[in-house]
Every structure is written in C-alpha cells, then in structure tokens.
Structure 1
Amino acid sequence: MTRFIEFLISLLIVVVVFVVIGLFLPAKRMYSYSIETNRPMSTVNDLFNGFSRFRDWNPLLRYDPRAKYEISGPAEGPGAKFSYQSRDKVIGNGSWEIVESIPGEKIKYKLTGPASGKDKSMTIRLTRTGQGNKNVKITQEYRVNYGWDIIGRYAGLYVNRNIGDDVKRGLDKFSGLLATIPRFDYSQHPGTFEIIQMPTQDILLVSTASKRNNEDIMSAMENQVSWINKVMEANGLVANGPLRIVTTEFTSDSYAFDVVQPVRRATDAEGVAAGAKMSLRLEGPVSYDQIPARRVAKTSYTGPSPGLARVRDLLRAWAMTHGADTHDRPYEEYMGGVSTMLDEDAHFNVYWPLK
C-alpha cells in the first residue's frame, strides 16, 4: 500500500511539473522560411492566389496520394478553398482557405486540420528584391495559437520540424514549378485572358512559309488566301469566322505557318457547330479538315502583327500559371484581314489550344 501511495505521489509530482512547465511554454508559435526567384511577380502571386496548381507544389498530400480533395469558391482570391479528406491520421480532414489577398504583397490562408492549436494560418509574403527589384523574395509564414492547451504547447516545441520541413519542401517544389513556366510578365498586357470552349469547325487551309520580313509574310498570306477564296466559291462556301494564321515555326530568319479559313455552307446558320464532314472539290495547295470542339486560352491584341510573337508567349505563361497545359499550335484571328495586319490599330484575337 505504501509503495502504491508513493507511486501516486510521484505520478502527481510528474503531472504537476509537466503542467507547470507547460504553462511557461509559449502559447503561440511562428515559423517562416524564404526563397528568392527571378520569375515575374504576376506569376508568383497568381500561383499562390488560387488552387489550380496547389498540388504541384504543396506537400500536403504526399503522405496519401489517394486522399480526396475538392476546390470550391472563386477561382482565386478570398473565398477560394482547398478541402481534403484522408484516412491517414497524419493528414486527416482539413482545408486551406484564402482569407486575405493583397496583390504583390501577401496571401493569407486559414488552415483547419488535425494538428494541435487554433487560429492556424499560413501567410505568403512577397517582396521585390535584387538588382532593379526584378527578383521576388517569397516568405512562407506559419502561425498557431495553442491557448491553454498544455499538450499543444509541448507540440509547439517541434513546429520547426513538423511544419518547417513541409514548408521548406513546399517552397523548393514551388521553385521547381516556376522553372516550368515561361518567364513572361503577362500583367502588363492590356488585353484580358480567359479560357473558352470552341465548337467543332470546318476549315480550309494552306501550309506555307516565308522569309521573316513583313512584306514576304504578307505576300505569302495573300497568295494562299486567293487559293482558299477560289475553293470557297467553287463549293458554295462562305466564311464562318475571321481568317486565322496558325504558327508552325518562328525562327530568326523564317516563318512557317498555316493560313486557315473556317467555312460553312451558304445555306447553314452562322456560328453553328459543324456537322458531318464535307465532301469538297479542292484545288491547288488547299486542303480541308474538321477541327473537333476544344478548350482554348484566349486574349486580344491591338497593334502591328510583329508584336504577336510576344503575345503568344504571354498567353502561354498565363494559361500554365492558372493550371492549364497548352497543346498543339497557337493561332490568331486577323479581325481586319491580311491587308491591315501592319497597321498600328490592327486587331487580333490570340488563341492557344489546351489539353
């Protein structure tokens, strides 16, 4: 009996010491880690400001690749939410929700999950740095409040390892993700970017190439347009949209491309998706094809056509940043035709097909 009482007293002393020490441990903990990148601020900000590429950099689901997840709310900014469910006790059920977003400064996430503590948050702070402020310093900051949770306060002793390792791993993966995205600052482009669905379309096309100078390019385009117009007239076809130029290869001294004209029967309604493939009488270099319905990234551009090469790069960078994988060849609609392509007020719609 005496030994049992001694055991209880010893146990009580241990508990009291445990509690007393716990009361003197910090109720709040913070961990931060930083990296630096030479990628544009717009790319860095947009990757963090939504969840379309979240799984490509955040190590959250690495413990359980079979975990279920759902993205809800707006595509970006406050209210965007990534929820997950896992049978793995390390992950459990939880969410990341954007609660504050200041472009080019910070994105704050509210965190829920099985980890100890309340008021858990992860904040991404962005700071311009380097020569000419062309680089971006990325700081990921974790904060938690354990309150009077003694067990939680002890858990806070291991924040640097339990949370810190994942933060470091995540930012390292984020740096790798940035390296896959073209280095173009699309935030300076005056046109809007969007992803749309294109219907099935019948087209006439001619593949050609020319030296990379404006006069030769325009001449090559006009020659092929003449062939396409001849085939359209012979088959009772009319244009079903603006003329397109599809880029095949763009080098320092040459430009290979397709001249494409969407077409329809003169008796068919304009803008309606194509039906069965047409049987046409073709002439010269003109061929016929039917393009199936597909998703494309789209923007617009006003200015002379030599500026289109950069706009294509901007569109691709934007699409990849927002979770879309580009596919096939980019193309432009010449809204004023070939004759106006070098004018300062020439207008183009620029597209890049997506997987």
Structure 2
Amino acid sequence: MTRVLEFITALIIVAVLAVVVGVLMPSTGHVQRTTMVSKDIRDVYDVFNNFRRFKDYAVLRAYDPSLTYSLEGKAYGPGAAISWTSNVPKVGNGRLEIVSADPGFADVADQGSATIVWKVQNDWPGHNKRFTIDMERAGRGKRLVKVTWSYDVDYGWNLLDRYSNLYIHGTPDSMVQYSLGNVQDMLAGVPNIMYDDLNPKLVDTPEQPVLYVSTEAKRNLTEVDAATATAMTQIQDAMKKLGVKQAGPRIIFTTNYGDQSYKFDVAVPIDTSTLKIDGQDYALTAPVVPTLENPNSASSAPAADASAAMSASAAEPAAAASADKMAKADGKKGKGDKADEDTGPKPGSRDKYGHLIVDKNVRGMLAFGGRALEASWTGNPAGIPPTRLKLEAYAATHGYATDTVMHRFYDKQMVAYESKKPDGSEVLYDEQTFDVFLPVTDAPKETPEQEAGLTDQPQSASSAPADASSAPASASSAAAAASSDAPADAESAN
C-alpha cells in the first residue's frame, strides 16, 4: 500500500511540475527567416499578394508530389486564398488566406516597404496562426529587397499547445525556410525590369482573319521600319488582287527578338475569313501544332477545319496554274524566280501550321481568339520591347500562364506616324501609339489595376486606327525620323 501511495504521490508531483512548467512556457510562438532578393520590391510584393505561384515555391510539393491545390476567393490581395489536400501526415490539409496587404500595390514602389499577412488554417497546434511577410528595400542604391517571412501562433492557456512550442522549429520553421529559398530561385526567372508604371488589363480577343508576311531585320529602328514597309507593300498588293479590305490597325507578331536580329510577322486584319484564289474559295483557319509524324502537314487541324484543308489539297492543280498566271501578269519575274515559284509553295495550299498560302510571301490565317494581357505604349517603336518585357514580368509575378511559342507577343499600331491628328497636324514619330498584347492561357477575370480602375485608357491622335495608307510610314521617311542608333531593345530604351 505504501508503494502505491508513493507512486500516486510521484504522479501528482510530476503533474504539478508539468502544469507549472506549462504555465511558465510562452503563450505564443514565433519563428522567422530572412533573405535578400535582387529584384524590385513590386515584384516580390506581387508574388506574395496572390497564390497563383504558391505551388511553384512552397516546399509542400517536395513532401508530397501528388498534393492537390485549389485557388479560392479573389485572385489578388486580401481575400485571395488557396487550400490543399494531402494524404501525407507532414503536409495534411490546410488553407491560407491573405488578410492584409499594406500598402496597396499602387503605393508600394514609392513607399519602399510593405507587409503582407496570411491567415493559416491547418493541423498545427495553437490558434490565430499567421504568416507575415515583411519587405523593404535594402543594399547600396536600394537595389535589393530584404524579405522576412515569419510564423506566429497563439497557444493561450492550452498547456499541450504551449509544449508544442518546443517543436515550432520543426515543420513550421522548415516550411518558411525552404519556401523562402524557393521564392528567391523563382524570382530569378522573372525579367529584370520594373513595371510599376504599367497599368495592364486582361481582355478577350475575338478571332480575326489576317494576311501576313514573315520578315527579319537587324535590331535597330531603321532596319525594322524598312522591313515593315516592304512587308506592308507586299500585303497591300495581295489585298488588291484578292479584292479584300483592311479591317483594323497593322499588327506585328514577335517571333524571335534576338541579340542582333529581330524576326517578326507583319499582319493586316481583313474583312473576310474566306479568300478566293483562282476561282476557288479557301477558309482561313487558326494555327495548328505540326504533328511529329508529318511536321509539314496540317493534319492536326480541328475537325471543323478539315473540309477547308481538303478543298485546299484538291485545288492544288488549279493553284499551280494560278501561280503561273500571276507570274505572267506581274511581268517582273525572271526565269530564276519563275523556277523558284514552280518548286515552292503553291497559292491555295497550306503550310505546316495550317496557314493559307496566298503567294510567295503572303500567308493568311485566323489570329487571336482567347485572352491576352494588354498595355499601351505611346512613343516611337523602341518602347515596344520594354513594354513586352514588362508584360512578361507582370504575368510571371501574378501567376498568369503564357506560351510565347504558340501564342506570341503582338502589338497593334493604333496611331501611326504621319497620320492626321484632330487639329489637322501630322503625328510625329515619337507620338505613335501601340497596344501591346501577351496572350495568356490561364488568368483571372481582371488584373488588380482593372479592379481598381487604373488601367491604361485608349490613346488616340485621330478618331480611327491606323489604316493601310498611313501605317507604317515609308521606309525612307521612317528612317529619317529614327536614327540608326536609336534604342530598340529593353536595356537601351530605358
């Protein structure tokens, strides 16, 4: 009996000590990790003020590759949330929600510091769990951003939760540490350009029939303007032969913006999606992905376009005859050119992307159709490449999915050089207006700027967009306006 009493007494003493120690332990828990990021503060702020990139940097995926995420609430700012489910105990089920972001996105660049708070809901002990991300400019010239990611929790008088504070440097700490490191790596892939002066919007773009010419030029304004003017002349000649009219401003599709050269397509919207070549009707179709089995075939086109492709194949003999007639009518082609035409693509046939071949240089297709991130630029064309980079960086930090191989950047010349202003004067070379587009494959309904009513307003020097007669200017006049050493890339234009 004495031993039983001693055992009970020992248990009571241990319990009392446990209670006393528990009471003396802190009622809150806190861990934090800090890193330096070589990016603009707006880039970092935008990444943490939405959850569309969370799956790309959160360490949870490393613990459970089959983890599933679900975006909830708003797309950006307070109210945005993400939840996850997992069968791995270390990950479990959880939810994060942005509860505050100070200051707003429009003021963070001027203020130079910001704080974003996430509400944490998972099976970690305690209540009022939250992540806090503090950002401030740092380093020489304030070119770096100091990012501090903290985890805080309240335990109250729950003694078991207070004891769990001994393990706060386990899963919570590792999630903060490794995720913060992944954020740094992810931001390294974002174009290094400030976009705080950009007010883009997400728009729906209907399909538009266009004629286009693929071209290439050295990367300076004079060469690009000359190549564009030549392509426009070829398109205008084809439009006259086809009997179609221009139905919108000139468009430039960017294929490859290299270090030394620029490959692009010059396109003109037209008023019909059906072209008549040598008496045969051909329907313009959207681009298709070439198949690996036969990359020169457009057999991967949608079933709806199959009949158009078949009619194109059936009309190839007539198309060949049409090519001969066109060559004779032009009266400008020598024997070498004629031979090239005989062995080259025939009008009425299609290339590997399903584009309709109109003549030696001109192709036709249905462009656009889908969503795009749009921004406006007023000035000479040297400002277009930086605008493209800004859109790319913006899409990356906001988590908008893009594919610039199949869905290329493009810009529309809304106000052309030498077009007329309302007062009758001519638009100067540095007064042109361009709308720049980055197609997106996954994005929310609106950008934060759209929700706040801060998007770029249409800028126009005339009541109508540039037409074939005014866009672009002739190569000679464009060259006179733009010096050959004018900036044409993002680095020199800024």
TM-score normalised by length of structure 1: 0.89
Match of 2:26? 26
Maintained 8 Å contact 2:273/2:366: no
Counterpart in 2 of 1:311? 387
For the residues of structure 2 that align with 1:256 and 1:83, how far apart are their CA atoms?
Answer: 43
Separation in structure 1 between the aligned mates of residue 93 and residue 263 of structure 2, nearest angstrom: 52
Matched, 1:327 2:407: no
Deviation, 1:177, is 0.4
> Is 1:205 aligned to 2:212, yes or no?
yes
In 1, Cα distance between equivalents of 2:19 and 2:440 = 58
Is 1:263 matched with 2:270? yes
Match of 2:435 in 1: 349
- CA contact 2:417–2:431 (8 Å) conserved in 1: no
SS at match of 1:230: helix
User: Whose strand fraction is larger, Structure 1's or Structure 2's?
Assistant: 1
Report the CA distance shift for 1:24/1:266 in structure 2 as closer, same or farther (over 3 A): closer
Task: Give the aligned partner of residue 233 of structure 2.
Answer: 226
| Pair 1:154 & 2:160 matched | no
Inter-partner Cα distance in structure 1 for 2:371 and 2:3: 77
Moved over 6 A (4+): 278-281
Q: Aligned pair count? A: 349
Match of 1:118 in 2: 127
Q: Distance in 2 between matches of 1:14 and 1:167?
A: 35
Aligned partner of 2:53 in structure 1 is: 53
Matched, 1:185 2:264: no
Partners of 1:325 and 1:176 in 2: CA distance: 19
Distance 2:171 2:27 in 1: 17
1:163 match = 172
3-state SS of paired residue (2:270): strand
Q: Which amino acid aligns with 2:248?
A: G
Which secondary structure does the structure 2 equivalent of 1:238 belong to?
Answer: coil
Aligned partner of residue 88 in structure 1, secondary structure: coil
Deviations 1:235-271 (A, max 9, x none): 2322343211122333455433211122232999xxx
Matches within 5 A, 1:11-90: 11-90=11-90
| Superimposed CA distance per residue, residues 201-234 of structure 1 (whole angstroms, 9 cap, x where no aligned partner) | 3221111223444333223212211221222232
Q: Distance in 2 between matches of 1:252 and 1:144?
A: 51
Deviates more, 1:91-100 or 1:231-240: 231-240
Pairwise CA distance, 1:195? 3.3
| Structure 2 Cα separation of the partners of residues 251 and 112 of structure 1 | 47
Residue 127 of structure 1 and its aligned partner are, at CA, apart by 0.9
Q: For the Cα contact (< 8 Å) 2:77–2:100, is it kept in 1?
A: yes
RMSD: 2.6
How has the CA–CA distance of structure 1 residues 146 and 266 changed in structure 2, closer, same or farther, with 3 Å as cutoff?
closer
- The answer for unaligned runs of 5 or more in structure 1 is none
1:286 paired with 2:329, answer no
Structure 1 residues 60 and 250, CA gap change in structure 2 (3 angstroms): closer
**Distance in 2 between the 1:168 and 1:56 partners?**
15
The corresponding residue for 2:377 is 301
Deviates more, 1:175-184 or 1:238-247: 238-247
Between the aligned partners of 2:258 and 2:68, the Cα distance in structure 1 is 45
- Residue identity matched to 2:232: V
- Alpha-carbon spacing, 1:162–1:305, altered in 2? closer, same or farther (3 Å): same
Is 1:242 equivalent to 2:321 in the alignment?
no
Deviation per residue, 1:306-326 (Å, 9 max, x gap):
111111111111111111234
Name the structure 1 match of 2:476: none
* In 2: Cα distance, 1:87 partner to 1:266 partner: 52
> What is the identity percentage for the equivalent residue pairs of Structure 1 and Structure 2?
33
